[in-house]
Structure 1
């Protein structure tokens, strides 16, 4: 993927939350147990954490993704979810803008630099940023759906999520508008539908059009 894809996803999210009112901010997102305030707080928090990942990597250093790990991350989300709608939007926009500026500073020779996130590299980190923005834009429940995911994003997400295919299953996705995708060995499960619907199902999101075929119970998100 290219940085322009990340910037496009960021712009789409920003446009959706512009003018967010209090009732909408308190409304349920597509993620169970999370309001839109929770989700916006999470993306802002993620953006700050990844800005730090980039800045430290460019100095040749590693830093924990979230100070205090997952418990601290979750506590920040809970503490920030009920902030006024205008504050939520301002915080999101400022955090995402800073993250995009950090990615702009990454040169061609920097992508192999290590980061703490998944013990990976900056190249993997920008992919994580892309996933975070594209998927959570749909999760906001403000009109955007996985149907808007670009084909290139679907291909990337399916590949990233390969560990979700359970043992003993040969999963075959046959989209009506894209190439066949296969993973795993064992009992064959052939699913059909649009590329975005099949990708949404594999990502644990409700597809907006039908996915047909025997759907296996997927493993947790990696």
Structure 2
């Protein structure tokens, strides 16, 4: 089992690459496309992009607070979080790009260098260290990029989840399985198993009778 510290260099690199790829894709979409339905029921693509920006901003604040020696809440409240997602959902493509580009630039300055003791600093996310905030951002960005772009000409699939992310997601999400069932007990391509564990529809249906999954292992509700 990898520790969060071991995963920091790759999580930094892959989350940066993932955000760059999302920016490039959104730059090719129209306002009308962003108002269309995403892969998440009840949410437009704009809602998903607003959620990505909100999660990123929350994790950015965790990094900034850690640098000051402070611990701050991830979100002010659930109502505030929901209101911010709704308010941002109607942004134009240009506005979404501006928000996400600003987030990318601020994150590049805020995340500590690999090996920094700040990664072990306490955070307001899941009662864990700052390293967990980076891993949370990595998960949310990569999963929701698929959700946001589904059905567009810029659509990406689970093949954008590399082996390291897949292994991390399966480890993180294994708690959703019933007692006595292990991830390795689920037959199928690892990426399809990962997508299913994340509550998504696999590219190739999984074989056999699948158990009912438990809730998402998060201190805050997730889509």
Shorter-chain TM-score range: 0.7 to 0.9
More strand per residue = 1
Pairwise CA distance, 1:153: 0.6
Pairwise CA distance, 1:210: 2.5
TM-score by length of 1: 0.86
Task: Give 1:9-88 correspondences, 5 Å limit.
Answer: 9-67=18-76, 69-88=77-96
Task: Give 1:100-139 correspondences, 5 Å limit.
Answer: 100-104=108-112, 108-139=116-147
Distance of 1:100 and 1:29 partners within structure 2: 28
- Check the 8 A contact 1:40/1:89 in 2, yes or no: no
Gaps of 5+ in 1: 174-180, 182-189
Higher relative contact order (Cα pairs below 8 Å, separated by 6+ residues): 2
Moved more, 90-99 or 117-126: 90-99
Larger Rg: 1
Aligned length: 204
Structure 1 residues 92 and 50: CA distance shift in structure 2, 3 A? same
- Check the 8 A contact 1:147/1:208 in 2, yes or no: no
- Check the 8 A contact 1:154/1:196 in 2, yes or no: yes
Q: 1:209 aligns with which of 204, 213, 216?
A: 204
**What does residue 3 of structure 2 align with?**
none
Distance of 1:148 and 1:49 partners within structure 2: 24
C-alpha distance after superposition, 1:152-206 (max 9, x if no partner):
1111001111220123x423x4xxxxxxx3xxxxxxxx43221111110111011
Pairwise CA distance, 1:143: 1.1
Q: Secondary structure at the match of 2:120?
A: coil
Distance of 1:100 and 1:71 partners within structure 2: 29
Give structure 1 regions of 4+ aligned residues with deviation exceeding 4 angstroms. 104-107
Gaps of 5+ in 2: 1-6, 218-223
Moved more, 110-119 or 39-48: 39-48
Pairwise CA distance, 1:82: 1.2
**What RMSD over aligned residues (CA atoms) do the two structures have, in Å?**
1.6
Distance of 2:208 and 2:37 partners within structure 1: 30
C-alpha distance after superposition, 1:64-108 (max 9, x if no partner):
1122x1110001111121122211221122123312321155752
